[in-house]
Structure 1
C-alpha cells in the first residue's frame, strides 16, 4: 500500500481488451488502478503490463451483477489501495 499512498485510486469496472483496458492504462499513468472483470486471467495479464510500465495495479475479479461479489471487490480495493476517488463503470 505504501506505493499507492502517493497516488489517488481509480477503479475500472468491466475491463475488457478494448475501451476498459485503454482506460485502465491511461489512468495508471497518474493513479493506482483497481481493475475488475469476471476473467481473472485477463486481469492478471493487464495488471502485469501496467506494473511493467511502472504503474500500480490491483486485480479485483468479480461479477458486478452479484452484490456479494461487488462488496468483496470494494473491500479488497480499500484494503489494498485505499478509498477510490474515481469510478469508471464500463460493464
Structure 2
C-alpha cells in the first residue's frame, strides 16, 4: 500500500503535509484504492504549486439553533414531544 493512504472501515483516507507542515487527514469518500491514490497525487501537486488545497469545513451551530431544529422535527412525530420540549427549554435556559 502506498504511503499516505490507509483504510478506515471500507473507506480509504489520505494523509499528507500541508504548506505549514501540519499533517492533514482527508477522506477520499471512496472504497477504491485508485481513487484515493489519485486524490493524494492531486493534493501533493497543489502543495508543490504553493497552494493550500481547499478542504470542506463543517460550520458550527449553537445549541439553541440545533434545539429549534430538533423540536420542529419531533413535534407531531412522537407522543413525548411536549415533555421533550420542556426538557430542551430548561437546557436552553441553563446553557445559553
TM-score (norm 2): 0.25
Greater relative contact order, per chain length (Cα 8 Å cut-off, separation 6+): 1
Please report the TM-score for the alignment, with normalisation by the length of structure 1. Answer: 0.26
Pair member with larger Rg: 2
